[in-house]
Amino acid sequence: MSNTLKISPSILASDYANLQSELDRISTSDMIHIDVMDGHFVPNISIGAPVVAACKKVCNVPFDVHLMISNPLDYAEDFAKAGADIICFHTECDSDTEQTIDKILSLGKKAALAIKPATPIDEVVKYLDKISMVLVMTVEPGFGGQSFMESTMPKIEAIRKINPDIDIEVDGGINADTVKIAAKAGANVFVAGSAVFKSESPAETIALLKKNAQDVQ
């Protein structure tokens, strides 16, 4: 596999009272993962488009915005205007999948599809020619700090077999050890929250995650 390895720290694990300095701490990352939750699709509420827009003013790393919301079609434009570079939404949401992908693409942004641990890959496979990335959740979405679910790895292997070139992202429980398992399965984009923000040196942790992923390729 020759896909570029990317580390996308999740600001869900950051100190929201000091977001600008937290973004500075992860300036060496390839992307920044922003979890948007509506309290309906998942049982938690996080941030909306105004916070994304505020972050964009002080950060030039690409934004990987993960919409864990029931109606992403209604909000895609808000997040595109706020500065999202990639807009990822769930196949399990209420919005029509193809319509939502087309809307995101029409806004000049990259579209990505996410699936929960129990969702079959058929739900994303039919759209692989239109999207830039598939996000395979390695925990149940909604809260940070959960344990990595190795049972999701066959999905990554199957998607990688079908499409060797697409970005496959993993989100949930990623650390210096689990990143190797996910990379070996075929993932190349790694969301890490607690592992990065709770470390003494986020830059060193980002480099270590990338090195460990590289070592098993």
> Could you confirm whether 30 is annotated as catalytic?
no
Annotated catalytic residue, options 24, 30, 35, 85: 35
Residue 24 falls in the annotated catalytic set:
no
Point out the catalytic residue in the list 122, 171, 177, 215.
171
CB of 89 within 8 A of CB of 37?
no
φ and ψ of 197, to 5 deg: -75, -25
- The dihedral of CA 96, 102, 103, 109: what is its sign? positive
- Point out the residues that are catalytic: 35, 171
